Amino acid sequence: MKNIKNQKILIDAIDKKLPQTHCQKCGFKSCMPYAKAIVKNNERIDKCEPGGSKVLESLAIIMGQELPEEKNITVDNPPKLVFIDPESCIGCALCLPKCPVDAIVGARGFLHTVLTEECTGCMLCVNPCPVDCIIEIERSEQIPWDFKKASKSRDNYNAKQKRLSKSKANFTQNNISRLKDKLFSTKTNR
């Protein structure tokens, strides 16, 4: 029991140091699964590209490890931003579900835009765009990526995951109800 509690403490400490961009560059769906893999599966601590050397050093301290001699992280590269070109956006909405923190707003058939204060710079929205209207831009000094933004990003990510999970559960329940209706109506009609 004590070991599980210690693992949870380590996982939470690591997750708090990760930048919460949910970019999947580490090979995990978001920052929390990566934190869990570091603690439970001895995953390498040098896979968080947006975190750079500061996060790497923090993770080494938390895990009581030396810095890896050959690091995957060679430069500090803070997360950038994305911009949707309003002249090119066709309102296809393919970018909306890809954003892990709901930083893109718009509706199918209408212009989309990025909430720069919320954008993590994960770039997950870029590839689905069929008209290449989403481009990477530098993050200005007025909106730096910091602990406060990382914490808000974690909250936004968790809120979206909760909403999607609830939506999926409702969808499943509705399908079960329709199936029951069909089965019972078929039996009574025979």
Q: Do 2-63 and 79-143 have matching folds? A: no
pLDDT tens digits, 38-66: 999 999 999 999 999 999 999 999 999 99
Report the 10 Å Cβ neighbour count for 19. 25
Q: What is the mean pLDDT of the chain?
A: 89
Distance CA 19, CA 39 (A): 17
Q: Is the pLDDT of residue 82 over 50?
A: yes
pLDDT tens digits, 25-39: 999 999 999 999 999
Distance CA 68, CA 59 (A): 11
All structural domains of the chain with their residue ranges:
2-63, 79-143
pLDDT tens digits, 146-189: 999 999 999 999 999 999 988 766 666 666 666 667 677 755 55
CATH no. for 79-143: 3.30.70.20
pLDDT tens digits, 90-141: 999 999 999 999 999 999 999 999 999 999 999 999 999 999 999 999 998 8
Fold of 2-63: 3-methyladenine DNA Glycosylase II; Chain A, domain 3 (1.10.15)
CB burial class (10 A; 0-12, 13-18, 19+) of residue 60? middle
| Block residue for tokens 């090119």 | 88
- pTM metric for this prediction: 0.82
